[in-house]
Chains A and B, each alone.
Chain A
Amino acid sequence: SAVISQKPSRDICQRGTSLTIQCQVDSQVTMMFWYRQQPGQSLTLIATANQGSEATYESGFVIDKFPISRPNLTFSTLTVSNMSPEDSSIYLCSVGGQGLHTQYFGPGTRLTVL
């Protein structure tokens, strides 16, 4: 199994500012994934981050709003830019397992925008 840590675990931010969320995995992985979970809702995939290439964003998510870095095979960051209260969510990092069937998730970063 993969152990995933995220920083910060939670934060309260002012509108108009930006927050960078870090995701660290205890093993090298090719692809990392960022999900968002809005209050009371299920998880939605934001983007897929490959090391050495630009992230691939899902419909409804854009790079200017959610820039992603992937400097190596164990680390990624997601920035939530120019935040508004609608960005208040839990942001989760995820990686695939060694086999074909498992996916592992980090503990999430709970973001509140005032």
Chain B
Amino acid sequence: DAKTTQPTSMDCAEGRAANLPCNHSTISGNEYVYWYRQIHSQGPQYIIHGLKNNETNEMASLIITEDRKSSTLILPHATLRDTAVYYCIVRFPNAGGTSYGKLTFGQGTILTVHP
């Protein structure tokens, strides 16, 4: 799996957009970008994933650069409940093989949302 680089921590005001960057310059053509978050004392939670195009769901938006070497997770209106560690993971999808189900977690970004 490609290595990712994320800032250690970020702050955001409640109600504002939180933009979390991730660098993955060694990503290969068939690897996807996944975002998970871990709220304190809980297991990680899947947020969103993408291959090339920008993606949006009810939780967030994912912007992937044209060269796919970096991406940004956007929480459009951050709330206090969005305070968590956010992990950017680059890997092949769960299509079998020895990498099935193996998520390699880095240190992630600690996002703190302030009132």
Contact surface of A with B, Cβ cutoff 8 Å: 4, 31, 33, 42-45, 48, 92, 94-97, 99-108, 110
Residues of A within 8 A of B106 (CB): 42
Are the C-beta atoms of B42 and A107 separated by less than 8 Å?
yes
0/1 per residue, B18-37, Cβ < 8 Å to A? 00000000000000101010
Contacts of B93 in A (CB 8 A): 100-101
Query: Quick one: given A42-B108, A108-B42, A108-B43, are A103 and B49 in contact (CB under 8 Å)?
Result: no
Q: How far is the CA of A101 from the CA of B42 in the complex (A)?
A: 20
Among B87, B94, B104, contact of A101 (Cβ-Cβ < 8 Å): B94
Q: A42 and B87 in contact (CB under 8 A), knowing A107-B43, A108-B43?
A: yes
* Interface, chain B (partner A; CB < 8 A): 32, 34, 36, 41-46, 49, 87, 93-95, 100-108
B101 touches A96 (CB 8 A): yes
B residues less than 8 Å from A104 (CB atoms): 46
- Residues of B near A96 (CB, < 8 A) are 94, 100-101
Closest to B46 in A: A102
Known: A101-B93, A101-B94. A48 touches B101 (CB 8 A): yes
CA distance A92 to B101 in the complex (A): 13
Report the separation of the CA atoms of residues A33 and B104 in the bound assembly, to the nearest whole angstrom: 13
Closest beta carbon of chain A to B43's beta carbon, Å:
3
Q: Could you pull out 21 A-B pairs where Cβ atoms are within 8 angstroms?
A: A31-B100, A31-B101, A42-B108, A43-B44, A43-B103, A45-B104, A48-B101, A95-B101, A96-B94, A96-B101, A97-B46, A97-B94, A100-B94, A100-B95, A101-B46, A101-B49, A103-B94, A105-B43, A107-B43, A108-B41, A108-B42
Q: Smallest CB–CB gap between A97 and chain B, Å?
A: 8
Residues of B within 8 A of A31 (CB): 100-101
Minimal Cβ-Cβ distance residue in B for A92: B43
| CB of B98 to closest CB in A, whole Å | 9
* A26 smallest CB distance to B (angstroms): 15
Residue of B nearest to A94 (CB): B101
